[in-house]
Structure 1
Amino acid sequence: MTRAGKSRTAIGIDVGARSIKVAQLSMSGGKSRIAALSLLPRTRIAEQVDTEEILKIKRVLKRQGFVGEEIVLAAPEEGLLRGVFDVPPQVSGDPAAQIARMELSRIHNVAPDSFEMVRWDPPDAGKSKSATQTIAIGCPHEAADAFIDLFEGAGFHVRALDIRIAAAARACLGLTVSPPALTSILDIGWDSTKLLLVCGRTVIYERPFRNKCLAKLRSKLGETFGITEEAADQVISAIGFTADGDVGELDQEFVDVIRRMLRKHFDMMLEELEASFDYANYQYPGEGAKRLLLIGGGAKISGLSQYFHNMLGVEARSVAPGDVVECPSKIFTNVDHPAMTVAVGLAMFTGE
């Protein structure tokens, strides 16, 4: 891992619509430990981050024990170019990358030299194929440069612009099942939800779940009960899926209505999950998805992982920083918050 200062990694920064998640690890005896964590509310929700906000972040991080200016950023999702292509099985290396670049350029109608690209081949599913599948993601130079310049203008040094799916898979690697079985990672965010299927350390599939994010759920609760978004957050956290959970003095009829709304919202996710699992079972017969890992703010909803387990019949659990990296005796406020997991994955970046 890259060191910033003594034994610190670069600082991982995950800019979300409602909050900015920041993590830094330390290295000792070849093992990584959590050195600093911070979850900072956005000053301008769902808008592009600006220099003023970044400078504020920099000041806060210094007070909270982060060391150095070297950072790894998650590239903004909305500007990425994605594609899955077939290439002749005898083609690999640079020729395969060139084919992927030209195909990505064609389907997104952009110049081939206008973006940086990462490309990888999913593991062979054991089928006889006339072509090899390759996955490519491109980040346009113009958008990348503008995003990097904002942080470097505030005094940070951007070591890398990583992609969220890579950071999520990296952070969760120690909890994945052994290949060739598959692990699914469901990232439930405020403005987006995405499913990843991974085989070992390799992402083989990603699927966004349209209109199934936390913002939609909160909006529905707000419209139904005439409450603010913040109040809807508190209601979801207090009630969750756990039937025997402590709901304080809340009216039982109200609790039942909220749980029905939660089930309806997440049952729509279940339909998408089942379709994705069917795909996995088709592509990797006899293996399929054996474990479901939940990350993102929605993964903190009490009882959600158990609900998914009951409905899907696969092992399911939420994943927070303390589940994937050793945490010293000193208590970090957000060590058990699954929204922080991608930031930890960014801090783990090595360039490989």
Structure 2
Amino acid sequence: MMAWWPVTESSPIGVDVGSRAIKAVQLAPPSGGAAPAVAAAAVIPRRRFEGMIDDDEARRLRDVLDRRGFRCGDVVIAVPHEHLMSDLLELPPRESGAPIRQIAAMELARTNRCDPNSFELALWDVPGAGKSGTPSPAMAAACPHEQAEELLDRFASVGLRIRAIDVASCALARAAACMLDADGPTAMLDIGATGANFVLVLDGLVVYQRRLADVGLGRLHGALQEQFGLDDELIGHLLTGEDDGAPEDGATTGAGAAPADNAISAYIEGLCEEVRASLSYAEHL
């Protein structure tokens, strides 16, 4: 997990390579006790959906960072969800003297059917769980060396240095630190084009995460295009409610809007069902 940066400097550039877009953000140093503010941000649509970032996309990212006022070339990149291995493990108590990291690596390798030496592992205890002498729940997250090295090489080839490879859910928990419940767990939902990530945070640490693969916005976007012949601009208006994207002919009002609204409502209900299932499972952890 990525540590916080020195408060006298701009943060490293956080980069998330999504299936439809590459997002980048950098925070300015906090001033006067206030929370850090966004210094620069960019969203770069991908010319091909999903997959590892290629040389052309890396060059486009570098050029956008230069034009948008990002400072320095140090990058912290989130592990793409398709390469992230994570699980909540029951491990021997810390005081047992057992090789905790080796046991965690073996268990993660077993469930993902890979070599335990083929990935980089992050491991942290679940706050408040486990008593002395009993199994200790811990979160494990890993990225295969092959994909990590490919990311390092791809960014280095365009002059961008990856300072760290982070877990997206941990970055999300840090970004939302001021909104977390101090007295209990906080559930968060990160919705992308090909799926959503359900994250449960306790005492600032991720204690559970689940990939919801069937509720990505891309599925809803495709349904609205196929069933109702809506273009990207109109779909954007329907999903965000922003007036800037609304067509001037009033196409989003009246009877024609009702079927699209029904499709959006059905999508939201399906998303809520997945969230309820995740919350129910998390209650029994």
TM-score bracket, shorter-length normalisation:
0.7 to 0.9
Runs of 4+ in 1 over 6 A off after TM superposition: 126-129
Q: 1:92 to 1:80 in 2, by over 3 A?
A: farther
Of 109, 120, 127, the match for 1:123: 127
- Who is 2:139 aligned against? 135
Question: Does structure 1 residue 80 correspond to structure 2 residue 84?
Answer: yes
Of 198, 222, 228, the match for 1:219: 222
- Who is 1:204 aligned against? 207
Deviation digits for residues 2-37 of structure 1, max 9, x if unmatched?
469x83221111111221111111215465222111
Instruction: Measure how far apart 1:88 and its partner are.
Output: 2.6
Distance in 2 between the 1:255 and 1:128 partners? 59
Of 258, 274, 280, the match for 1:272: 274
Deviation digits for residues 256-306 of structure 1, max 9, x if unmatched?
2222211111111111222222234444xxxxxxxxxxxxxxxxxxxxxxx
Bigger drift between 19-28 and 91-100 goes to: 91-100
Q: 1:276 to 1:125 in 2, by over 3 A?
A: farther
Question: Does structure 1 residue 144 correspond to structure 2 residue 183?
Answer: no
Question: Does structure 1 residue 19 correspond to structure 2 residue 21?
Answer: yes
Contact 1:9 1:26 in 2 (8 A): yes
SS of alignment partner, residue 204 of structure 1: strand
Contact 2:12 2:26 in 1 (8 A): yes
Q: Comparing both chains, which one has the higher relative contact order based on Cα–Cα distances under 8 Å and sequence gaps of 6 or more?
A: 1
Distance in 1 between the 2:165 and 2:130 partners? 33
Distance in 1 between the 2:37 and 2:242 partners? 33
Question: Superposed, which structure 2 residues align to 1:41-190 within 5 Å?
Answer: 41-89=45-93, 91=95, 95-125=99-129, 130-179=134-183, 181-190=184-193
Q: 1:281 to 1:129 in 2, by over 3 A?
A: farther
Contact 1:239 1:255 in 2 (8 A): no
Distance in 2 between the 1:39 and 1:64 partners? 11
Instruction: Measure how far apart 1:216 and its partner are.
Output: 0.7
SS of alignment partner, residue 148 of structure 1: helix
Instruction: Measure how far apart 1:40 and its partner are.
Output: 1.7
Question: Superposed, which structure 2 residues align to 1:202-351 within 5 Å?
Answer: 202-238=205-241, 248=250, 250-283=252-285
Root-mean-square deviation over aligned CA pairs: 2.8
- Aligned-residue sequence identity (percent) comes to 33
Contact 1:122 1:134 in 2 (8 A): yes
Distance in 2 between the 1:37 and 1:91 partners? 45
Distance in 2 between the 1:93 and 1:153 partners? 43
SS of alignment partner, residue 143 of structure 1: helix
Q: 1:119 to 1:61 in 2, by over 3 A?
A: same
SS of alignment partner, residue 253 of structure 1: coil
SS of alignment partner, residue 100 of structure 1: helix
SS of alignment partner, residue 37 of structure 2: strand
SS of alignment partner, residue 252 of structure 1: coil
Superposition TM-score, scaled by structure 2 size: 0.86
Distance in 2 between the 1:96 and 1:86 partners? 10
Deviation digits for residues 164-201 of structure 1, max 9, x if unmatched?
1111111011101113x111000011111111011121
1:197 aligned partner, one-letter code: L
Superposition TM-score, scaled by structure 1 size: 0.71
Distance in 2 between the 1:95 and 1:64 partners? 47
Instruction: Measure how far apart 1:124 and its partner are.
Output: 2.7
Contact 2:106 2:116 in 1 (8 A): yes
